[in-house]
Amino acid sequence: MSAVITFAVAGRVLAQLRRDHRTLAMLLVVPCALITLLWWMFEDLPGGVFDRFGPALLALFPFIIMFLVTSVTTLRERSSGTLERLLAMPMGKGDFLFGYALAFGLVAAVQSLLAVALSVGVLGLDVVGPVWLLGLVAVVDAVLGTALGLFVSAFAATEFQAVQFMPAVVLPQLLLCGLFVPRTALPDVLGAISDVLPLSYAVDAMQTLTRSSDVADVWGDLGVVLAFVVGGLALGAATLRRRTP
C-alpha cells in the first residue's frame, strides 16, 4: 500500500463528487430534512418520542446513504473498466478501498456534523453523553455503510441490482436494530440474529449516549462496529480481483 496512491484515490473521488452538485446536495440536505420531518411528526405528541427515535436515525442515515453511494460508485468503477485499468497499474487493493473509505468518511463526517448540529442545536434532542462522541459514532456508521457497499458491489452486475441490495442488506438490520421493538424483547432467534448485525450496535451506542453519561458501553459498541468495518473492507478486498474470467 502507498499513502500517495490512497490519497490520489480519495482526492479523485471527492473531485468527482464536487462536480456532481445534485448528489452532493442530496448527501448533505436529505438527512437533515428527514430528521426535521421526524421531529415535526412527533411535535404535538407527549412522551419525548423524538428523543427515542432521533439518535437511531443519526446512526441510520449515514449508514444507508453511504451504503448506496458506495455500492453504485464502485460498481460503476468495475463496469467502466477503470478498476481493471487501475489494477493493471501499481495500485494495491488496499489503496483503492481505503481511498474510497477516506473520501466517503470525510463526506460522512460533514453530513453527520450537520445532522447532529441540527438535532441537538435546533430541534432540542437531549443528549446526556458528550455530543462529539455522537458525531464520531455517526461517522463510524457511515464508514460501515461504505465498507458493506464496497463488498456487495462485487455481487451486482448492474447498477439496478446494486440498488436492490439496499433493501436486502439494510432493511433487516433496520427492523432488528431495536428501533421498533427493544432488542431484549425480540423472540430468542431474532434476538440472536440482531446480536450479529452491526447496525444494532450502532443504534445501541447512540441510544446509550442520549440516556447516560457512561461512555464505556459506547466505546464497546463502537469497537464492534469498527470490527465490522474492518471485516467488510477485508471481504471487499477479497472481491477485487486483478484477473477476471
Cβ 105 to other proteins shortest distance, Å: 19
- Count of residues in contact with other proteins, rule CB under 8 A: 25
Burial degree of 154 (CB within 10 A; 0-12, 13-18, 19+): middle
Cβ 29 to other proteins shortest distance, Å: 20
Q: Does 82 contact other proteins by CB under 8 A?
A: yes
- Residue with smaller CB distance to other proteins, 89 or 168: 89
Question: Which window, 15-23, 25-33, 34-42, 57-65, contacts other proteins (CB under 8 A)?
Answer: 15-23
Residue 107: how many CB atoms within 10 A of its CB? 23
Binder of other proteins out of 1, 20, 25, 122 (CB under 8 A) = 20
Name the residue with cell 477485508.
234
Written as nine digits, the cell of 104 is 466517503
Q: Which of 45, 38, 31, 181 is nearest to 115 (CA)?
A: 31
* Binding residues among 89-108 for other proteins as defined by CB under 8 A: 89-91
**Residues in contact with 221: Cβ distance below 8 Å, sequence separation at least 6, in sequence order:** 137, 201, 202, 204, 205, 208
- Residue with smaller CB distance to other proteins, 82 or 213: 82
Binding stretches for other proteins (CB under 8 A): 4-5, 8-9, 11-12, 15-16, 19-20, 80-82, 84-91, 242-245
